Amino acid sequence: MWVYEKKLEYPVKIKNPNPKLAKYIISQYGGPDGELAASLRYLSQRFSMPTNEAKGILNDIGTEELAHLEMIGTIVYQLTRGVPADVLERVGLGAYYTDHDHAVYPMSASGTPFTAAYIQSKGDPIADLHEDMAAEQKARATYENLINLTDDPDVIDPLRFLREREVVHFQRFGEALRIVQDKLAEKPFYVKKPDCMNPAYKR
Amino acid sequence: MNPNQAQLLKEVMAADFTLIDLNLYLNTHPYDQNAIMLFYNCAQRAKILRNEYERLYGPLTAQSTPYKCPWQWINSPWPWE
């Protein structure tokens, strides 16, 4: 289970609102390569991992992603705090304001609401860990795009931190993949029957 | 998981759940002095139970993992096993 801690993983303190930037950064909240998708992906995949190293890494990275989700939500909140409706409308957030006012809602930069279709949980640890490594690279690329769209150091600083975490996660997933591959390549002491031959699977 | 471990874990779960429920109540009743006292007492008890469980059976959080090689946090059983 989980326990909440009343702090961010890394500080976010943005002095100047910038709703146009918030419109882009919200993609890392509820977009295709965002933190919500990452967290749900890893926390769902961990159940079917074959080694304790892989269970641990998916459990704990999935948990850290929730902390990143909170950081992104904080950035979006601070970038839009107190911004009047007509300004939101001018930067392309009129539709957003209509449905969500100043709330934080999980969607992509283009306005697509969050969907679990962004993730897979395949039950095949090799397939899942490859997806996870790709997901970390896609998130890293997204953070780089966002940094390119920003000139505010208050925003760039936490985005750089989050980008670096993607790189670390990629590395750890690669190590977990190697451990899982080694385990699956071990010579079994007996021949495992396919599931269809196991009486327990028959009605 | 041996029966003693399962029993103590159940007590930790019960103690922690008491805190979860009191926490919610207090969020909407922040001036209820009696409930605050109850929360405090239950928190003490939960802490004692948790320390006892972790001493005997291993860490409940990564951050309370003891100085021991290999790293004990990833050991089975995980809660879903």
Interval A160-176: pLDDT, tens: 999 999 999 999 999 99
The answer to pTM > 0.95 is: no
Interface predicted TM-score of the whole assembly (ipTM), two decimals? 0.92
Please state, in angstroms and rounded to a whole number, the distance separating the CA atoms of residues A136 and A130: 10
Please state, in angstroms and rounded to a whole number, the distance separating the CA atoms of residues A113 and A108: 6
Instruction: List helix spans (H) across chain B.
Output: 3-28, 33-57
User: Virtual CA dihedral for A47, A51, A57, A59, nearest 10 degrees?
Assistant: 20
User: Is the pLDDT higher at A64 or at B1?
Assistant: A64
Please state, in angstroms and rounded to a whole number, the distance separating the CA atoms of residues A146 and A125: 31
Interface of A with B in 55-84 (CB under 8 A): 55-56, 59-60
> Contact A56/B80, CB-based, under 8 Å?
no
Name the residue among B16, B74, B79 with its Cβ closest to that of A52: B74
> Contact B73/A53, CB-based, under 8 Å?
no
> What contacts B69, CB < 8 A, 6 or more positions away?
none
Contacts of A60 in chain B (CB under 8 A): 62
